[in-house]
Structure 1
Amino acid sequence: MERFFKRPLAIVLVIAAITVFFALQLPKARLDNNNFRFVPRNDPERLAALKIDEVFGSQMLILVGLERRGQTVLDADFLSKVREYGKKVEELPIVDSVTSIVTTDYIGGSADGIAVVPMVGDDFTGTPGELAAVKDRLLEWDMYRRTLVSDDFSATQIIISLDLSADNAGTSQATETYRQVKRLAGEAGFKGTAIHVTGMPVFSSVINDATSADLRMLVPLVILAVLCVLFLSFRRIGGIVLPLLTVVISSIWAIGAMALFGVKLSIISTILPVILVAVGSAYGIHVVSHYYDTVAGMRNMGKEEHRKILFRTMEKIGRPVLLAALTTFAGFGSLCFTSVVPIFEFGIFASFGVIVAFVVSLTLIPALLLLRGPDRKVRKAEGRSEEGSNTLSARLADFFCVIARKKKTTLFVGFAVTAFSVMGISRLVIDNVMVEYFRKDSPIVKSDEYIRKYFGGTKNISVVVRGEKPGDVLMPDVLAAMDGLSTYLMTKVPEVGKTTGFTDLVKRINQVFNADESPDGLSRTVGAAALESDSGFGFGFAEAGSAEDGTAAPAGALAPAEAMAEATAPAEAIPAGPSGSLDQLRLVTLLSEALAHGSERGMSGDELVAALAKETNYRGAAYYEIPSDPARYAKEDAEGLKALIGNYLVLLSGDLSSFADDPLEPTSVRMNVQLRTVGQKDTDRAILAIREYVAENFPERVTVEIGGNALVEISLNNLVVRSQLSSVASSLLMVFLILAFYYRSAIAGLIALTPLAISILINFGVMGYFGVKLNIGTAMVASIAVGVGIDYIIHYMAAYRHEYLRKKEGRDFLRRTFLTSGKAIIFNAASVGAGFAVLAFSRFNMLAYFGGLVTLTMATSSLVSLTVLPVLLDVLKPAFIRKAMPFDDFEAGGEDR
């Protein structure tokens, strides 16, 4: 050791140089809180989502909801501003398309057949007639409702598609685009309009901003907290600066290393400096505390004597500090046994930071003390009695001695608390919900809630149907199964908000083309020549929305009764149908038939109107369906219907990329399912409903694949569960091996694990009882509890064994154990807990819960170490307590050497 510290200035300069090197890397640090990045690259759900994006286009959308409180969106000035806003957004670098009420297309009838025209034309002037025509078009096709407009027309949604893969939703490009979209919306002049912006890229961007803000606020706060603890402990500059310097250096090295190796910071990385300051300061405190205790009261100390005293201090504390560092390293290192990417990254660099804090504490602090030389100011040692106690230590010792002597009561209470905690674990909810990262009053939470309520939210599932060869998916039974799935989800599964897809387009063309036919069936053959189009159809649906109540109108529903009465049909609208006027008898008959076809539970007004429209083929309502009956369409068989559907695709070939992999003979077609769910349980129910329907109703000759960001979130949740089990198990195993090796006894390792297990169970029990969810943040609490909480157990076991071996007849070794360890353990737990309690000021609920739970585990692990552990040692009387070890610095049965 003396040789190593022969040139202390060189040690200081080397550490300073390395610190400067890592500090220069800090500007290269980048943030990325994209959920896709949180799962491994080979995760099946992630691969499926990326494959769907590759075939059908990116699903990275920014959803802008414009809420006109007490007004309608069908206002000339408002629609003009929507158009101008859309044009400006389209000019942003990575914006692929903007779909709004004024840019979407409308499929309608014309004198020559069918026309695909803009919903709001360029020549739109906003006259009452034009506004009525737009409203009529929006009501005419259910695909628009709760996607582009709310049910009451008080809000509209703008769908902004980004030219980004799901992997890049959290990049700086996405963040800047979100900021520009929001800025332009604020500058667009939407008077009396509330603006709601959400979507996966928005969440990633908002989390990135909040993460940066947390780093700027929490790091100074935890440093301030540690400064207060150091001041109260030492009341001198050296005692404050030296321990703090080590943790600042370790934080710079850890974050700098992440930037150096291109590892992006995440919401989890926010707490890395906080943890290193709170936990790593203990090593420096150990060194400085023992040094000051040794030199206290010494006068006229020369440099050589000071040097020897310092080396003796380092030799004495080196082993226990190493043991504490190893066990803390084990706790953080266990987080590397996980597939959750940010937790894995945190585990690596937190472990690195712990080792740096340990090494710097045992090298830089002694080197600086050597350079400074002996303190010329004589400081008095703390006054102690023969038992080595002060007033607080004595009171704590007396208190814990009373508990330790009531063995049965202590064990019973410990068992009862553990059993109660196990019961709470059964209530634990495992869910990683991005919207729940934030406070309920946060703008992003309010925006997401609004979109879910009036449109459909941001979660989506893609149902992809794939045939063996091109054109197979155009068979009527395949499309009918898809359409049946859509109807089932919208009417029977409340978690589903909206479904849009390939079959909606086919049904619409079928409806428009057969508007003048009898509702009973066709008397002619449909050919491709009858199909005309001004342009390819462009809707831009990928993640659309729906209403909160989950009740969708049946296929063919057109409009409420009053809307149908007030609507003014445009020139190219679908003809009214062949039925003409109805006499009273015919009307009553049709009403009876409509009701007979209705559900047994009764029909709403909208459903009755829709059923009546079908009976009369009003505007083709009877043909808003997948052609599946050859006789009804004057075809000989299913192949004839397939050819008919193929003819329909000729019209739509301009823009089908969102729903089909080929415009004419697709091998794969897609349906998008919007969910209004927040948590995993609701999402699981929707996915299970889809899987069950597919298994029972789809032809076996096609394959059905389900993917999307909702399934990636579920995969992340499953990984959190597995990582929790693996990290806790591995941390406990490593701690067991370290202590078993240190004490040469497996029993020592098992006894040490008991208090840890109790504190971990209490942590999960509290989470269950108080509804704190297990997510990527709270999943780390148990491993950190092992890594940090084991210090208290080590401290107490060392003190217990020390006092037991040097006890004299008549001396109460148990009380002396509490005198030497009780106050230190309580104060250490309080200081570490205070450091983590700073996280209560985080902008994220998840990190606030994390800080509170770690503080709780510090309290429980320290208290269990001072209550249950003494009883276990007394009852079991393990051999390692009575056996002398080579590292002992005293003689058994005697005083310290």
Structure 2
Amino acid sequence: MIWKKLADFVLKQRILILAVIGLASIFMGYKASQVRITFNGGKVLPVTDSAYIRYMQFKSTFGQDASTMVIGFESPSIFNKDVFNDWNQIGTRIQHIKGITGVISVANLYNLEKDTLNHRFTLKPLVKHPLISQAEVDSIKKQILNLPFYKGLLLSENGNATLMAITFDGKIINTPKRVPILNQILKEGKQFEQKHNIQVHYSGLPLIRTVAGDLMKNEFTLFLSLSLLITACILLIIFRSLFPVIFPVLVVLLGVTWSLGILVLMHYEITILTGIIPPLVVIIGVPNSVFILNKYYYEYSHTGNKMQSLNIVIERVGITTFIANVTTAIGFGVLCFTNSELLTQFGLVASLSIMVTFALSLILIPIIFSYLPSPKPRQSGIKDRKIIQFVLLKLDYLVHHHRKAIYITTFILVIVCTYGLSLINVNGYVVDDLPKTSNTLSDLQFFENNFKGVLPLEVSIDTKRKNGVMNQVFIHKVEKLENLISSYPEFSRSLSLIQALKFSTQAFYGGNSRYYRLPDGLEQGFILSYAGNSGKNTNVLHNYIDSNKQFTRASFEMIDVGSSRMNVVLANLQPRIDSIFNPKKYHVELTGSSIIFIKGANYMVKNLYESLAWAIFLIAGVMWVLFRGIKMIAVSLLPNLIPLVITAGIMGFFGIPLKPSTILIFSIAMGISSDQTIYFITRYRQELKSTNKTISRIVSDTIRETGISMIYIAIVLFFGFGIFAASTFGSTKALGILLSVTLLVAMFSNLTLLPAFLLSIEHREEKKKKKAD
């Protein structure tokens, strides 16, 4: 038998095995030291998705869309001489920071002027030096208000709030180089704030992603430390000895090292999901040691022989823990079926790490304890603890004498929670993961209230022919489209070819704001001629059309209203867009980082339903291989499906939305909770084959022996996942709390409902036999 051979090999070749694992762990430790935190939002949509392909084409044509940071303030003193001059100087200093390609604010503004002599337009700064008098500032203010191109973009509609838009070089935006630049901008803002006693607000995706990255870095260390501390304390309470605490902790630390090494070897970075793998390895890895040591002490209490007991542990526990870890790995591994890079990385690394940690536990724990002194009576007597025995006796009594009560209670819970499930709202926000008390969220709200948000929405329009953009009919269609989109309260006014043409027309007529309009047929030729002579840096049309004049863009900002509301808006918007641009002649694509996030959230929710179905299917397959028969598969799956329904009900009643982070819970919980079922049924079937006891007696023995490990493991998992409740990320917090609840319910389900099912099967079989006789 393979497990018998493995047990003999492990205990006979201890030195060789320790040397091989030691060298491999040194290599993985070296790789783990090279792990890096991601500086982008992570790829949610598959690279083959049409929306993602269009987004990448857009970036290739027009450049990075999520590269702008904004800083702003609200004050009646915007055009006070000292405030205005300092705001100008901040913009000038930021403009000279390496890695910044553009800065624009009310104090760092450019006007488009007509150069009649050279038949071109020139961009000239309104403020060329610090202004000496208040009269000069008032003059600049008058000029700004005479430029509709900037209306609502840099100065709020009521004139009390202003912002500065800072554009990063696309080559450094997703690298660590952006961090010192951001810090310098924040320093400049703080100095302005202190000098004038005006609160400065900061936002934009470069900042939001950096704040999230810093939180990830802090929580990575925090949760790894907390998981080790919690599990060590629980091990100490369970075993009341140092050796069963120290060595399991060292083994899972090796598992953590290997998990980070795997991450680096696969060329992945730490994201909000892969960042929780190390504490997950600790939380899921420690129960292996609990099960192995509990079995070791149980066997030693019967045999009194250390090496024989360890041999039995590997032989008998090996298959059980292997299958249990396979089902756990399935819960994570099915995420690879989503084709989402973010989830695939998490699922693949997590499942591999779980199996590696299992192998390390099964091999190293017996080897280490073979060199340690024999267990003391208080350790081998772990099964005789009064509290645990009291709980198990009560559970055994409940199962044998109150099965109907168990079924009725379960049925009522399922009905109530099914109603709760119907209340679940599917929703996600771009800044979902940031803590509600974060300044980043309050700052974002400032920009949403005054400037309709800072999250980019891009509209790409393909005319499907060269020079199609400059057709006058097409231009008027684009204007109509922009007016349509801006009419929605979720979107700002646009920056586009239309606004650039209107700005050019105004400049052509000497800056008169009455001429801020689209040029007519004759004017358009002159204006385009002037724009063509202006050079790449001065031609304001350049940013909004491609080189072939086939594509144009319109840029908006949007409020983070959530994927649920935005799905409604987009569904309402699409037919109205189609009524302006015939889909047969044009292709209009709503894109940009914000839209990709929303489509990614929709994609993940849809595909995570499929991954849960895959998890159930694959775990059912494992149960079939182990136990055979439809009845046993149903008996194995139901105690683990019911906790999922109860958790979904809790989410509905407490208003916890279904989003990518929370739907992860179900496939993961299904994989982990199935372990307990496997522990129970494997022990039950072993007894069924090897003794002549009644099924009733075997169920009682299984509850009393396996129940000890199941309760201890549930405690480890409950408190282990419970540490994530301390997370500043909403998604991680929800993941921890809901997983803890689900796995605790699953433990009770597997110690009540599962044995009740087995006894009911026995009762039916006896009835059939009596009828046959």
Scaled by the length of structure 2, what TM-score is found?
A: 0.90
CA contact (8 A) 1:425 1:768 kept: yes
Q: Match for 2:177 among 173, 178, 202?
A: 173
Q: Distance in 2 between matches of 1:879 and 1:657?
A: 81
* Cα distance change on mapping 1:400 and 1:181 into 2, 3 Å: farther
Is 1:779 aligned with 2:663?
A: yes
Residues 712-770 of structure 1, C-alpha deviations (whole Å, 9 max, x = no match): 11221122123312221121122111121112334322221112221122222222332
Note the residue ranges of structure 1 that are not aligned, 5 or more in a row. Answer: 515-571, 575-618, 629-637, 883-897
Q: Equivalent residue of 1:37, what SS?
A: coil
* Cα distance change on mapping 1:27 and 1:93 into 2, 3 Å: farther
CA contact (8 A) 1:106 1:117 kept: yes
Is 1:626 aligned with 2:631?
A: no
Q: Partner residue of 1:257?
A: 262
Q: Distance in 1 between matches of 2:378 and 2:757?
A: 40
Deviation of 1:193 after TM superposition, in Å, equals: 2.4
CA contact (8 A) 1:461 1:711 kept: yes
Q: Distance in 1 between matches of 2:766 and 2:14?
A: 39
* Cα distance change on mapping 1:115 and 1:345 into 2, 3 Å: closer
Residues 214-258 of structure 1, C-alpha deviations (whole Å, 9 max, x = no match): 011111111111011100111112111222122111111011221
CA contact (8 A) 1:175 1:201 kept: no
Q: Distance in 2 between matches of 1:838 and 1:203?
A: 25
CA contact (8 A) 1:48 1:708 kept: no
AA aligned opposite 1:761: V
Q: Partner residue of 1:429?
A: 425
CA contact (8 A) 1:65 1:451 kept: no
Q: How does 1:150-165 map to 2 (within 5 A)?
A: 150-164=156-170
Is 1:759 aligned with 2:643?
A: yes
Q: Partner residue of 2:624?
A: 740
* Cα distance change on mapping 1:775 and 1:272 into 2, 3 Å: same
CA contact (8 A) 1:119 1:134 kept: no
CA contact (8 A) 2:39 2:176 kept: no
* Cα distance change on mapping 1:715 and 1:115 into 2, 3 Å: closer
Deviation of 1:801 after TM superposition, in Å, equals: 4.5
Q: Distance in 2 between matches of 1:2 and 1:823?
A: 27
CA contact (8 A) 2:500 2:540 kept: no
* Cα distance change on mapping 1:703 and 1:279 into 2, 3 Å: closer
CA contact (8 A) 1:479 1:503 kept: yes
AA aligned opposite 2:340: V
Q: Match for 2:459 among 458, 463, 469?
A: 463
Is 1:239 aligned with 2:238?
A: no
Q: How does 1:117-136 map to 2 (within 5 A)?
A: 118=124, 120-123=126-129, 125-136=131-142
AA aligned opposite 2:655: G
AA aligned opposite 1:147: L
**Which shows bigger deviation, 808-817 or 821-830?**
808-817
Is 1:211 aligned with 2:216?
A: yes
* Cα distance change on mapping 1:662 and 1:751 into 2, 3 Å: closer
Q: Distance in 1 between matches of 2:327 and 2:9?
A: 28
AA aligned opposite 1:294: E
* Cα distance change on mapping 1:880 and 1:35 into 2, 3 Å: farther
AA aligned opposite 2:518: I
Q: Match for 1:183 among 179, 187, 208?
A: 187
Q: Partner residue of 1:820?
A: 705
Q: Equivalent residue of 2:33, what SS?
A: helix
Q: Partner residue of 1:382?
A: 381
AA aligned opposite 1:172: P
Deviation of 1:332 after TM superposition, in Å, equals: 2.0
Q: Match for 1:720 among 604, 607, 613?
A: 604
AA aligned opposite 1:792: Q
Is 1:857 aligned with 2:749?
A: no
Scaled by the length of structure 1, what TM-score is found?
A: 0.78
**Which shows bigger deviation, 351-360 or 719-728?**
719-728
Q: Equivalent residue of 1:38, what SS?
A: coil
Q: Distance in 1 between matches of 2:464 and 2:222?
A: 57
CA contact (8 A) 1:743 1:880 kept: no
Is 1:508 aligned with 2:503?
A: yes
AA aligned opposite 1:217: L
Identity value in percent: 20
Deviation of 1:659 after TM superposition, in Å, equals: 3.7
Q: Distance in 2 between matches of 1:117 and 1:169?
A: 26
* Cα distance change on mapping 1:393 and 1:751 into 2, 3 Å: same
Q: Partner residue of 1:19?
A: 25
CA contact (8 A) 1:457 1:675 kept: yes
Q: Distance in 2 between matches of 1:753 and 1:881?
A: 24
AA aligned opposite 1:688: A
Deviation of 1:33 after TM superposition, in Å, equals: 5.2
CA contact (8 A) 1:466 1:702 kept: yes
Deviation of 1:704 after TM superposition, in Å, equals: 2.6
Deviation of 1:814 after TM superposition, in Å, equals: 4.7
Is 1:83 aligned with 2:88?
A: yes
Q: Partner residue of 2:439?
A: 443
Deviation of 1:32 after TM superposition, in Å, equals: 0.9
AA aligned opposite 1:767: M
Q: Match for 1:37 among 16, 32, 43?
A: 43
**Which shows bigger deviation, 755-764 or 182-191?**
182-191
Q: Partner residue of 2:315?
A: 315
Q: Partner residue of 1:330?
A: 330
* Cα distance change on mapping 1:11 and 1:823 into 2, 3 Å: closer
**Which shows bigger deviation, 10-19 or 679-688?**
679-688
Q: Partner residue of 1:192?
A: 197
Q: Distance in 2 between matches of 1:845 and 1:108?
A: 50
Q: Match for 2:415 among 412, 416, 419?
A: 419
Q: CA RMSD in A?
A: 3.1
Q: Equivalent residue of 1:40, what SS?
A: coil
Note the residue ranges of structure 2 that are not aligned, 5 or more in a row. Answer: 1-6, 768-773
Higher Rg: 1
Q: Partner residue of 1:530?
A: none
CA contact (8 A) 1:333 1:351 kept: yes
Q: Match for 1:834 among 716, 719, 742?
A: 719
* Cα distance change on mapping 1:437 and 1:350 into 2, 3 Å: same
CA contact (8 A) 1:19 1:252 kept: yes
**Which shows bigger deviation, 308-317 or 732-741?**
308-317
**Which shows bigger deviation, 467-476 or 91-100?**
467-476
* Cα distance change on mapping 1:405 and 1:704 into 2, 3 Å: same
CA contact (8 A) 1:31 1:266 kept: yes
Q: Equivalent residue of 1:201, what SS?
A: helix
Q: Distance in 2 between matches of 1:121 and 1:662?
A: 31
Is 1:277 aligned with 2:159?
A: no
Q: Equivalent residue of 1:146, what SS?
A: coil
**Which shows bigger deviation, 185-194 or 92-101?**
185-194
CA contact (8 A) 1:103 1:118 kept: no
Q: Distance in 2 between matches of 1:334 and 1:16?
A: 31
Q: Distance in 1 between matches of 2:460 and 2:395?
A: 67
CA contact (8 A) 1:430 1:773 kept: yes
Is 1:494 aligned with 2:376?
A: no
Q: How many residues align?
A: 755
**Which shows bigger deviation, 250-259 or 477-486?**
477-486
Deviation of 1:658 after TM superposition, in Å, equals: 5.6
Q: How does 1:325-404 map to 2 (within 5 A)?
A: 325-372=325-372, 374=374, 381-382=380-381, 390=386, 392-399=388-395, 401-402=397-398
CA contact (8 A) 1:483 1:626 kept: no
AA aligned opposite 2:724: L
Q: Equivalent residue of 1:434, what SS?
A: coil
More helix by share: 2
Q: Partner residue of 2:555?
A: 672
* Cα distance change on mapping 1:100 and 1:393 into 2, 3 Å: same
CA contact (8 A) 1:40 1:341 kept: yes
CA contact (8 A) 1:474 1:642 kept: no
**Which shows bigger deviation, 181-190 or 667-676?**
181-190
* Cα distance change on mapping 1:714 and 1:16 into 2, 3 Å: same
CA contact (8 A) 2:62 2:546 kept: no
Q: Partner residue of 1:539?
A: none
* Cα distance change on mapping 1:104 and 1:444 into 2, 3 Å: same
AA aligned opposite 2:144: L
Q: Match for 1:790 among 661, 674, 690?
A: 674
Q: Match for 2:633 among 749, 754, 773?
A: 749
CA contact (8 A) 1:717 1:775 kept: yes
Q: Distance in 2 between matches of 1:29 and 1:827?
A: 33
